[in-house]
Structure 1
Amino acid sequence: MFDYIDNTEKLSDLLTRLDKAEWITLDTEFIREKTYYPRLCLIQIASADTLACIDPLAISDLQPFLDWLNQPQRLKVLHAAWQDMEIFHHLGGGNVPTPLFDTQVAAAVLGMGDQLGYARLVEALLGVSLDKSQSRTDWSRRPLTTAQLEYAIDDVRHLRDVYLLLREQLDKLGRMKWLEKPFQKLSDPATYTVDPQTVWERVKGLQILKPQQLAILRELAAWREQRALQKDIPRRWILSDEILLDMARMQPDSPAGLRQIRGLSDEQIERGAGEWLACIARGQAVPKSECPSLPRRRKLDANMTVVADLLTALLNQVANDHGISAQMIATRQQLEKMLEEGRTTLSDDWRGVLVNDLFTEVLSGKTRIRVRNQQVIVES
């Protein structure tokens, strides 16, 4: 059984009952096909003895819930928390609930698989097969059926036992510290703050552009992002990545030039030409020394290929020592990219905790490596 919370009185009563919980499990249902920000449609929440679905479409003021959620004295347990936290960051005026525990990340450091889905994790740990019949539900439609609500509440019902089992295994293996940085990042509001001046870096296909063209792309992408934010619509509805790339590459200086770009209608050009051409002009005016550039990657020569082989061997040894698949820590491609970019560290998450210091010492020549009893030994 679970409670369905659809008014402020029920919400206040629920929060009172949950107030002494040391931890809660949390999930959301949302849609975002037609909006820039996800539209929150349902909140599922549970403690050791309480289960509830909160209907944000029926409750006029969610602020009391957001204030309660942001209280730091209780742990919030989620699976694949990023999108849920993005929602609360937007609704909460830039605040993010903390502290957090992400069961997907926890499962990864226990060697259960990278980016493991919730249903697979529940089946692996609890032997429970979750109903998937409502996975395509339109959560904005009301009323929600019993089947829909049962499907939704399962996301927090079983998460309680999953959390306790993962926590037990992490404590047993001494791996809780591995999770500190990933969880801190998930709790950092900056993780969910969009900077229009950096969104150009996520435009697909930008590798074909030269630095001056990248400066133009930066202006165009920032304009598109700001417009999408203002209108609360998907950025692709403003202009597609392909059109941005063509504008940056062709650098038209008139509406006639814009008409040479495939995918732009006369109506779009009439509405947007002035702003697009201004973006292009600003990008053209950026001094060459200040133009953005992509990370320089150098092709590995024979010597660096040997170095990559060495790091791969060390990686395999570390993975074997911790009972984790080496592929979960890093692929050969990721190691080569690290070397191509001149880095000595892999990442700032739990994977980096395992290998960053080792890689840095090896690549700086501060250690020597030998084989003993068929094992690779690193000595300072």
Structure 2
Amino acid sequence: MVCSSAFPWPYLLGGKQQAFLGVYGPLRRVQSLFQYYDDGGPHAVICQDEIIWVGTNEALSEAIEKLLLSEAVAIDTEYDSFRYFREKLCLIQMWASRSCFLFDPLSPLDLAPLGELFSNPSILKIFHAGENDIRLLKRDYSFSVVNIFDTAKAAALLGEEHLSLEHLVVKYLGVMFEKKRKIQRSRWDRRPLTAKQLAYASLDVKYLYDLYRVLREKLSARNLLGAAEEAFEGVAHTVWCGRIFNHRGYKKILNRHVFSPEEQEKLKAIYEWRHSVAEKLNQAPFMILTDDELAQVVQEGVSALDPKKEKRWGKEIREIFFREGDYGADIPR
């Protein structure tokens, strides 16, 4: 693809960040181009006229109208499973008609009308390792998902050992493509999103349709379409289920430290308490207390905690220790 201008990935050039943030409007197109360079061949590129931010109900209706005219739509999501107890869906990307439509689940916009697309059997939905995407979409919007093609499942049936999107795009499309882990793990729950994040998200779907065509042809040549359809059906029927608490999980902490029998019981108690608090606050357990902090509290007492954490959690932990028979725990405070 030839674009009107070219800037090195992953930097935003041609203006300050503030100028870029103006894209957050109804169906306004991002006024920048992103690409990355490598010495191996053609480069993954996203152009200024390809990214569309859907920001109003009117824009949503217009976007859905365009998507429903497509024979196939490539779909991906960005979510935060690192900092939250319950994964937070942060962005939905859809590629069709040479455009990437970006939908914001964190905005007041009601995205339920997208359900018409997901339930339409005449429109192929293309995912890459789509189980988690579909789980979250069903959890948050109760979408019914039919007629999908999963490029990761297809590649696995073809005997591929490396199923990452960047590997498959390079191998089957000859396009140099790299997903930066730093961006992948960035704060997708914050607004506004950065230029790097929007480029990353858009590139995740841009090449899925071309990859689908190549993989489908190879599946057909090897009489694997039937097996693939069964695999895709399984992905489409994926459902959300909450995090299952591992009551024995505290034992991995035992393996790194030496505890007395009494301390082991205290560790088990606050390990279960941490899970309960994390679920209530929808925060990852480590954001309440890390494993090392749990061990430290058990062995050295609540006063060993960071002052802020002691102030927030100290009373509850002391009460737990008191119930576990540590009558030396100075409660309440």
- Same fold, TM-score > 0.5, yes or no: yes
Amino acid at match of 2:301: R
Residues 1:142 and 2:187 are matched in the alignment: no
Find the aligned partners of 2:111 and 2:53 in 1 and give their Cα distance. Answer: 15
Residues 1:122 and 2:180 are matched in the alignment: no
Question: 1:270 maps to what in 2?
Answer: 315
The structure-2 alpha-carbon separation of the partners of 1:201 and 1:259, relative to structure 1 and needing over 3 Å to count, comes to closer
1:113 corresponds, among 143, 161, 165, to: 161
Residues 1:76 and 2:125 are matched in the alignment: yes
Amino acid at match of 1:195: I
Where does 1:1-380 land on structure 2 (aligned, <5 Å)? 1-2=49-50, 3-47=52-96, 50-65=99-114, 67-68=115-116, 70-71=118-119, 73=121, 74-92=123-141, 97-114=145-162, 116-130=163-177, 136=183, 138-139=187-188, 140-142=190-192, 144-145=194-195, 148-176=197-225, 177=227, 180-181=230-231, 184=234, 187-190=237-240, 192-196=241-245, 198=246, 200=248, 204=252, 221-242=271-292, 259=301, 267=311, 268-275=313-320
Amino acid at match of 1:233: Q
Find the aligned partners of 2:149 and 2:251 in 1 and give their Cα distance. Answer: 31
> Do the aligned residues in 2 keep the contact of 1:243 with 1:261 (CA within 8 Å)?
no
Q: 3-state SS of the aligned residue for 1:165? A: helix
Q: 3-state SS of the aligned residue for 2:234? A: helix
Amino acid at match of 2:316: R
> Do the aligned residues in 1 keep the contact of 2:86 with 2:242 (CA within 8 Å)?
no
Question: 1:341 maps to what in 2?
Answer: none
> Do the aligned residues in 1 keep the contact of 2:250 with 2:268 (CA within 8 Å)?
no
Find the aligned partners of 2:251 and 2:62 in 1 and give their Cα distance. Answer: 46
Amino acid at match of 1:79: H
The structure-2 alpha-carbon separation of the partners of 1:86 and 1:43, relative to structure 1 and needing over 3 Å to count, comes to same
Q: CA deviation at 1:240?
A: 3.0
Q: CA deviation at 1:122?
A: 0.7
The structure-2 alpha-carbon separation of the partners of 1:84 and 1:260, relative to structure 1 and needing over 3 Å to count, comes to same
Q: CA deviation at 1:236?
A: 1.1
Find the aligned partners of 2:269 and 2:218 in 1 and give their Cα distance. Answer: 49
CA shift digits 1:185-215 (9 cap, x unpaired):
563215x42234x464597457799xxx999
Amino acid at match of 1:125: Y
> Do the aligned residues in 2 keep the contact of 1:246 with 1:261 (CA within 8 Å)?
no
Q: CA deviation at 1:13?
A: 1.6
Per chain length, whose mean CA-contact separation is higher, i.e. which structure has more relative contact order (CA < 8 Å, sep 6+)? Answer: 2
The structure-2 alpha-carbon separation of the partners of 1:138 and 1:221, relative to structure 1 and needing over 3 Å to count, comes to closer
CA RMSD of aligned residues (A): 4.2
Which deviates the most, 102-111 or 52-61?
52-61
The structure-2 alpha-carbon separation of the partners of 1:126 and 1:221, relative to structure 1 and needing over 3 Å to count, comes to same
Find the aligned partners of 1:273 and 1:167 in 2 and give their Cα distance. Answer: 60
Amino acid at match of 1:92: Y
* % identical aligned pairs: 25
Amino acid at match of 2:276: Q
Residue segments in structure 1 that go unaligned for 5+ positions in a row: 282-380
Q: CA deviation at 1:31?
A: 4.0
CA shift digits 1:121-174 (9 cap, x unpaired):
1111111113657952654342643x6534432221111111121122122223
Amino acid at match of 1:162: L
Find the aligned partners of 1:261 and 1:86 in 2 and give their Cα distance. Answer: 42
Structure with higher helix content: 1
Residue segments in structure 2 that go unaligned for 5+ positions in a row: 1-48, 326-333
